[in-house]
Structure 1
Amino acid sequence: MSKRFGPTAVEPATPLWWGGIALRVLTWLFALGAVVVHEADYRRPALAWIVLGAMAAWTVLTTLVYSREALRWRWRWFVVADVVVVCALMLTSPLILSPRQLAGVDPLITTVWVAGVPVAAGTRFGGYGGMAAGLVVGLSTALARQAFTLDVARDAVLLVATGLLIGMSATTARKSAAALAEAWRKEVATAERERLARSIHDSVLQVLARVRRRGAEVGGEAAELAELAGEQEIALRALVTTEPTATHTGESDLRGALQLLGSSRVQIATPAGDVLLPAATTAELVAVVRESLSNVDKHAPGAKVWVLLEDLATEVVITVRDDGPGIPEGRLETAEADGHLGVARSMRGRVRELGGTIALETAPDRGTEWEVRVPKAWTKR
């Protein structure tokens, strides 16, 4: 299986590579016919056949390289060398053609064989690479003709357009294949998750639910065990129902990661769709929320907590609010001075490194609310 493109090891733009190979073979046959027809008028017929032989050898070599299935074997440097070699062969035309042929409409020694270069460059490098190769070949045509005529300009435009269109097609094919591979990966992971969820539901979740009910009926210390069992039941249900979060682009779903923090005392509210951020950013934001929840457990046992995630156009916003007693004025400064750096370093430091802001709103008997804002533009760097 290809690690880059999913369930197939074939490079998505392979049909374009094979199309370029076929184009090069057919155009070489056209060049052969042109040499046969115009040989008598050449200044150096022997050199014409030598160049034609070099074109044939280069066609065979490019076929061997470009017919490989994996993109990594279609080396970037080889495609650049392809442009150089083809242009060099075309620039032998002034040595072969007579002045009358160069000034007239007779084809250069390479004829339309050079059209394979922008096709290869566009397939390997995309639209911009194809355009650049087409432009280089067009300029080489003008140098070989020793004049910049309307025909030369027309050929250059066609070569540039060909490279652009082929490059755009190759880029679209690769993006489509990556999206298909991601959908395929999610489908497989979801099927496995559903299988595990059925197995867990028939065993572990039923046991936890029974312990929770019986512990609540008995009361006393059993009630505490029932509460713990209930929290684990909620966490386990969230684990088996949350969609996979990793993607082929190195991003992860912040929404799914936060949902795993839900419990009987912690309610998570998130958007319906995925909130994709770089995996490192997601991990940092989850750590900030965990630290906030840890502070609630330490200083406001039994308090209810609400976590709200908002996915805005330019930023993500996380709000963590509890109904505890609140933080007395000056408490955080005192804790930091005493060396307790949970809020100062773990929360504020993490958010600052992400280019975001964190704000605290609290008052005695009015609970605590943290608001974290992180710009999306920063997270994409």
Structure 2
Amino acid sequence: MSRRFGPTEVEPAAPLWWGGIGLRILTLLFALGAALVHARDYQRPGLAWTVLGGMALWTLSTSLVYAREALRWRLSWFTVLDLVITCGLMLTSPWILTPAQLSGIDPLITTVWVAGVPVAVGTRFGGFGGVLAGAVVGAATALARQAFTLDVARDGVLLMATGLLIGMSATTARKSAAALARAWRTEVANAERERLARSIHDSVLQVLARVRRRGAELGGEAAELAELAGEQEIALRALVTTEPTGPTTGEADLRAALQLLASSRVQVAAPAGEVRLPAQVTSELVAVVREALTNVDKHAGPEAKAWVLLEDLSAEVVITVRDDGRGIPEGRLADAESKGHLGVARSMRGRVTDLGGTIALDTAPGRGTEWELRVPKPGRGR
């Protein structure tokens, strides 16, 4: 089972995996050349060639696994095993090299072949994993040398830096691919919505607009039908001109969700761009606004109109719901709550409080009602 990264199932960091495979092969050839040069000086030449054979087999095994995307994601433990086996092969150096070779400048039996491990771990687990793998290989180098020298420290720093850079590159590539995939899905959705909007405008919306105009001219019961047709026309226009509200990566567009609440009596004003919040936060805020609009419909009077204003500030979002209805008499909400009507207390105030926000009411008989909701953005302080 492959992992989907965007419009295709290609791993964005695939070039890094292939680069790691190429690095293993090149460094293996270097290790073979170094062994040919120093073989006569080894205290156990047979063990040296055995270890080199193991390095060749392990290079083949890692190449086969890392070349296949499904395996490299399914077998995450294989990358850790790669680190363990590579360090184990390097730790055979004290039994192969002479004490003079270990204390001198002669390379260990694995030489630079071990550099492939931080590359693989960093590609799989990111920058932190790459640094950790480099530190482990550096520590194993010190154990194999049986001393911690300036050269050993330098090699460790280079290994950690390699793992860090490769890991950051892999993480950046995957994040960029995910962002591109979201943009691609949005573009496809926009194109489809525009196609549907053109089709609906040429048929359904024109019919609804004609029914609304003709019904208003006839009056009587036809006027009621005209009003209903007008509301459906507004709702349909909002539907075909608003961005999809379904969550993609756990987020949803609050602006789009609120625009769907527009009707002949409700106007929605929002920023030009998206206001993306976690899908659960968006759902709760839309529920609060819908409850406020329901109260307008029930209590503000048949001619009352409502306005919804969305503001996207740096650390919070502010939603204002205002109507020009009758207003709420003083003590009305407390009386309703005492009688068990908990729409405002539980549905509105409770939801906003659970989100870490505040809700304020400004009303008086004869001058309408205004609700102001302030909710901090996730990860930002109040």
> For residues 318 and 184 of structure 2, what CA distance do their matches in structure 1 show?
31
> For residues 246 and 54 of structure 2, what CA distance do their matches in structure 1 show?
50
Asked if structure 1 preserves the Cα contact closer than 8 Å seen for 2:311 and 2:318, the reply is yes
Deviation by residue 1:253-289 (Cα, 9 ceiling, x = unmatched): 0000001111111111111111000111101100100
Residues 42, 378 of structure 1: CA spacing in aligned structure 2 closer, same or farther, 3 A cutoff? closer
Once the two structures are TM-superposed, the CA of residue 2 in structure 1 deviates from its matched residue by 7.2
Deviates more, 1:236-245 or 1:249-258: 236-245
Asked if structure 2 preserves the Cα contact closer than 8 Å seen for 1:354 and 1:379, the reply is no
* Structure 1 match to 2:364: 363
Residues 90, 164 of structure 1: CA spacing in aligned structure 2 closer, same or farther, 3 A cutoff? same
Asked if structure 2 preserves the Cα contact closer than 8 Å seen for 1:11 and 1:70, the reply is no
Residues 378, 183 of structure 1: CA spacing in aligned structure 2 closer, same or farther, 3 A cutoff? closer
> For residues 305 and 312 of structure 2, what CA distance do their matches in structure 1 show?
23
> For residues 332 and 71 of structure 1, what CA distance do their matches in structure 2 show?
61
* Structure 2 match to 1:207: 207
Deviates more, 1:11-20 or 1:192-201: 192-201
* Structure 1 match to 2:20: 20
Alignment of structure 1 residues 81-160 onto 2, 5 Å: 81-160=81-160
* Structure 1 segments of 4+ aligned residues over 6 angstroms from their partners: none
Asked if structure 1 preserves the Cα contact closer than 8 Å seen for 2:309 and 2:321, the reply is yes
Letter of the 1:29 counterpart? L
> For residues 380 and 186 of structure 2, what CA distance do their matches in structure 1 show?
24
* Structure 2 match to 1:354: 355
Aligned partner of residue 372 in structure 2, secondary structure? strand
Deviation by residue 1:100-143 (Cα, 9 ceiling, x = unmatched): 11011111010000000110011111111111111111111111
Aligned partner of residue 378 in structure 2, secondary structure? helix
* Structure 2 match to 1:261: 261
Once the two structures are TM-superposed, the CA of residue 80 in structure 1 deviates from its matched residue by 1.4
Asked if structure 1 preserves the Cα contact closer than 8 Å seen for 2:327 and 2:368, the reply is yes
> For residues 327 and 169 of structure 1, what CA distance do their matches in structure 2 show?
58
Once the two structures are TM-superposed, the CA of residue 72 in structure 1 deviates from its matched residue by 5.8
* Structure 1 match to 2:303: 302
* 2:65 counterpart of 1:65: yes
Once the two structures are TM-superposed, the CA of residue 82 in structure 1 deviates from its matched residue by 1.1
* Structure 2 match to 1:192: 192
* Structure 2 match to 1:377: 378
> For residues 72 and 255 of structure 2, what CA distance do their matches in structure 1 show?
35
Once the two structures are TM-superposed, the CA of residue 14 in structure 1 deviates from its matched residue by 0.3
> For residues 193 and 315 of structure 2, what CA distance do their matches in structure 1 show?
33
Letter of the 1:323 counterpart? D
Asked if structure 1 preserves the Cα contact closer than 8 Å seen for 2:311 and 2:317, the reply is yes
Matched residue pairs, number? 380
* Structure 2 match to 1:76: 76
Aligned partner of residue 285 in structure 2, secondary structure? helix
Residues 379, 351 of structure 1: CA spacing in aligned structure 2 closer, same or farther, 3 A cutoff? farther
- Give TM-score scaled by structure 1 length: 0.96
Q: What is the percentage of aligned positions where both structures have the same residue?
A: 79
- Give TM-score scaled by structure 2 length: 0.96
* Structure 2 match to 1:276: 276
Residues 159, 74 of structure 1: CA spacing in aligned structure 2 closer, same or farther, 3 A cutoff? farther
* Structure 2 match to 1:46: 46
> For residues 3 and 357 of structure 1, what CA distance do their matches in structure 2 show?
41
Letter of the 2:364 counterpart? A
* Structure 2 match to 1:323: 324
Deviation by residue 1:120-170 (Cα, 9 ceiling, x = unmatched): 011111111111111111111111111112211221121111111111111
Asked if structure 1 preserves the Cα contact closer than 8 Å seen for 2:247 and 2:279, the reply is no
Aligned partner of residue 359 in structure 1, secondary structure? strand
Q: Which runs of 5+ in 2 are unaligned?
A: none
After superposition, the CA RMSD in angstroms is 1.7
Q: Which runs of 5+ in 1 are unaligned?
A: none
> For residues 72 and 359 of structure 2, what CA distance do their matches in structure 1 show?
45
